Structure 1
Amino acid sequence: MNTAEAFLVAMTVVFALPYLVWRLADIDAWAPLVVVQILAGIALGPGVLGQWWPDLHAVVFTPPVIQALNGVAWWAVMLFVFIAGIELDLGAAWRHRRETGTTAALALGVPLLAGGVAACGGLMTSGWIGPAALPWQFVVGVGMACAVTALPILVLFLERLSLLREPMGQRILRYASLDDILIWAVMALILMDWQRMGHQAAFLLGFGLLAWAMRVLMRCVAEQDRWYLAPVWLAVCALAADWAGLHYMVGAFLAGAVLDADLFDRAAMDTLRHHVLMLLMPVFFLSTGLRTHWSVQGADVLIAALVLLVASVGGKLLGVRLAGHVLGWSSAEARLVGWLLQTKALIMIIFANILLDRQVITADAFTALLLMAVGSTMLTVPMAAPLLARLRGRLGSALWT
């Protein structure tokens, strides 16, 4: 096969295989399509397909094909993170700052601490910590990976549970939105290159000035023109952040976060997010799967993933339970919020990709984090749906205040 044919074979498999498994197995109740796509990416990577059928893997996933897939994946994930930044509602978070701040702080801090302890306790060895990482970068990076909430996937789950437009759904989005800001701030700190402080200072100064100008420009043009300007703004910010020694995804998130959601029609933005998820993000999952390795020991990777899953889920549930105690919630309400906020999926995978790119973690640690994210996401709806049904039956309309 030539490169074009191999690329098209890879694209056919990555779109067809997860859909067929998901639809024929009828597993949507506990494994949404996005989870199956992530698992398919792992299965097609060197850790599974590359081990079982190395010749087939080598024929299809040649270096030029991987390079082409990576280009599509980079743009896909930048668009996805950009949309997540736009959808942040910082005004609502400020209006409910005591409740939002308390919940977000504990929902982030406790699993971060639990994940950091897990990193210190068993993972700080040559097989897990990246060659370019300082110990604190590895510990904080793994801890933050355990604390992440996948805001875009949370939106999909809230839609499925008929909570998205309800007051409780909006509350949960506020908590996740504030945590998103803190997560990317910590990521920027982890990636801080002290030898390139001049570049980073120039980026922050230039970004502040350009963000102000872009906000003014967006208000002055018609909405149709805003849709054309948005990808230009995204590309410029991503390029500048990468040049500064941070990461292009940090720039993509900041590019969206400084734009107000009311600049764009909500229905159109929902449609764009859906299309990016359906048409582009599967390529990102495939390229992510191609980075999974099991060179330590397969069992060790699975054990590490389980330890991280316990730290992640347990820490999130405990943190939200503490917040609920402070704010006077019922235990059932705190459990519901905790199970919804613990979903990891895409944002954690993006976070782990950045850590791998910057050699903060190894490919084996990345694989363990990836498996943890899949397990966390698969637990969300099966655990949250019964809790929600009981709360609706017991409290009725009081649940939505």
Structure 2
Amino acid sequence: MGIVERYLIALAIIFTVPWALWRFGRTDRWAPLVVVQILAGIVLGPGLLGRWFPEQHAFVLTPDVMQALSGLAWWAVMLFVMIAGIELDLRQAWRRRLESGVTAGLALGVPLLLGSAAAIPLVLTPGWMGAQALPWQFVLGVGMSCAVTALPILLLLMDKLELTRHPLGQRILRYASLDDLAIWAVLALIVMDWERVGRQAGFMLAFGVVTWAFRRLMVRASETDRWCLLPIWLAVCAFGADWAGLHFMVGAFLAGAVLDAEWFDQRRMDLLRSHVLLVLMPVFFLSTGLRTSWDTGGWDVAGAAALLLVASVVGKLAGVHAAGRLLGWGPGEASVIGWLLQTKALIMIVFANVLLDRHIITGATFTALLLMAVGSTMLTIPIVEPRLARLLGRATRSGHAAVDRNDLAGDVAGAVGGEKVH
């Protein structure tokens, strides 16, 4: 059988298995399709399916097939990261900068500290830190993985909760946007090639100049031309970042972050994100699953994943509750916000893939982080739903509805900065 036939068989498996499990298992409440796709990628990897059915695994997923799938996965995740960059709206956060800065800082900083502390035993144990990593890179990378909020998955879950257009939902998106920006800044620091600092400085200087020219071009272009220019811009930015010693994912994020969302029809952008998730990202999830490793020992990996999950959830909730006390939030708000912000999945998986590419973490650490991200995301909806219902009921009973039925936040910005929260 030729490579084309094997490639098509692999694609059929990639798209069929997760969908069947999601649809017939009715997992949507606790495991959205994207989470099932990630889990399916792990199962289809060499550590599980490859061990149980080695001949069949090797027959379909040959090196040539994997190379073809990897190219598709790279493009899929670059598109996804660029869209996340485009949708990053820092203007709302700037308008409410005191509230947003305090909350985002604590929501990121506390789990970062706890996650970094949890990484220290792994540094001291062989088999967890990558061959080319310095201890600070490993500790910071694992700590940031625990602190990440997956903005695209957060949007997906808030849609299920009918919270996206709600004032509370808009607040959560502001906090997540600031954390998302910090995540990519830390990633750029971790993967920076200190032997090629001059090349990286040259890239950033050139990127600034080219971005200025490209933005002027986009302002003058029609909307149709803007959509056509988008993949060209993505490829150029990703190439430049990778050439400079940064990772192409950093370039993909920068490509989107410097563009204005208003230049594109929001409905079409939502459709593009949905189509990328539906048609392309499952291939990335499979390639992610193929990178998992159980060589260190299944129980050791599971134990590390549990430790990181505790650090991630406890840190996020502690940070958000501290922000709530400082800013005078109402009862129950910090719990709902904290559980939503601890959602991981996609962005953390992209982050961990970059760390694995640069040999900062090993396959065992990558697998533990992947399990932590999946567990974190699966906890969100079942825990948030009853808390959100109580919060909505409490706000209605206390008379908030007479002023603004949806204003669960009260007037935080009015209290701290003289501006009403909408």
TM-score, normalised to structure 2's length?
0.94
Give, in angstroms, the shift of residue 400 of structure 1. Answer: 5.8
Shift of residue 213, structure 1, vs aligned partner? 1.1
Q: Is the 8 A contact 1:133 1:361 kept in 2?
A: yes
Within 5 Å, give how 1:58-97 maps onto structure 2.
58-97=58-97
In structure 2, what is the Cα distance between the partners aligned to 1:172 and 1:271? 22
Could you say which residue in structure 2 is the equivalent of 1:108? 108
Task: Give CA deviations for 1:269-328 in whole Å, capped at 9, x if unaligned.
Answer: 001000000000000000000101100000000000000000001100001011111111
Q: How far off is 1:145 after superposition?
A: 0.3
Q: Is the 8 A contact 1:321 1:331 kept in 2?
A: no
CA contact (8 A) 2:133 2:361 kept: yes
Kept in 1, the 8 Å contact 2:123–2:138? The answer is no
SS of aligned partner of 2:292: coil
1:176 aligns to 2:176 (yes or no): yes
Distance in 1 separating the partners of 2:123 and 2:186: 20
Deviations 1:157-196 (A, max 9, x none): 1111111111111111110011111110000000111110
Is this contact kept in 1: 2:129–2:138, CA < 8 A? yes
Structure 2 distance, partners of 1:118, 1:156, is 29
Please state whether the residue corresponding to 1:399 is helix, strand or coil: coil
Partner of 1:344: 344
The CA distance in 2 between the partners of 1:399 and 1:180, in whole Å, is: 24
Q: CA deviation at 1:198?
A: 1.3
Residue 266 of structure 1 corresponds to: 266
Distance, in Å, in 1 between the alignment partners of 2:8 and 2:379 is: 33
Moved over 6 A (4+): none
Q: CA deviation at 1:21?
A: 0.7
2:415 counterpart residue number: none
Partner in structure 1 of residue 293 of structure 2: 293
Once the two structures are TM-superposed, the CA of residue 331 in structure 1 deviates from its matched residue by 4.2
Structure 2 counterparts to residues 121-270 of structure 1, below 5 A? 121-270=121-270
Task: Tell me what 1:275 maps to.
Answer: 275
**How far apart, CA to CA, are the structure 2 residues paired with 1:123 and 1:196?**
26
Give the drift of 1:123. 4.5
> Who is 2:329 aligned against?
329
- Paired with 1:7 and 1:383, the residues of 2 have a C-alpha distance of 40
Question: Which residue of the partner structure matches residue 120 of structure 2?
Answer: 120
SS in 1 for 2:259: coil
- Alpha-carbon shift at residue 125 of structure 1 (Å): 2.5
How many angstroms does 1:245 deviate by? 0.5
Q: Which amino acid aligns with 1:22?
A: W
Q: How far apart, in 2, do the equivalents of 1:379 and 1:131 lie? A: 33
Unmatched segments (≥5 aa) in structure 2 = 397-404, 411-422
Question: Which structure has the larger Rg over C-alpha atoms?
Answer: 2
- Give CA-to-partner distance per residue, 1:217-267, whole Å, 9 cap, x none: 111111111000011000000000000001000000000000011010111
1:318 alignment counterpart: 318
Which has the higher mean CA deviation after the structures are superposed, 159-168 or 341-350?
159-168
Letter in 1 for 2:76: A
Q: What's the % identity of the aligned pairs?
A: 66
Q: How does 1:353-392 map to 2 (within 5 A)?
A: 353-392=353-392
Q: How far, CA to CA, are the matches of 2:68 and 2:394 in structure 1? A: 53
Which residue of structure 2 lines up, in the alignment, with residue 16 of structure 1? 16
Change (3 A) 1:122 1:133: closer
Q: Look up the match of 1:306.
A: 306
Tell me the distance in 2 between the aligned counterparts of 1:314 and 1:331. 19
Amino acid at match of 1:167: P
* 1:399 partnered with 2:369: no
AA partner of residue 350 (structure 1): V
Cα root mean square deviation, aligned: 0.9
Tell me the CA shift for residue 330 of structure 1: 2.8
- Residue in 2 that maps onto 1:26: 26
How many pairs are equivalent?
Answer: 401
Give the match for residue 418 of structure 2. none
The TM-score with structure 1 as length reference comes to 0.99
Counterpart contact for 1:324–1:331, Cα < 8 Å: no
Distance 1:260 1:400 in 2: 28
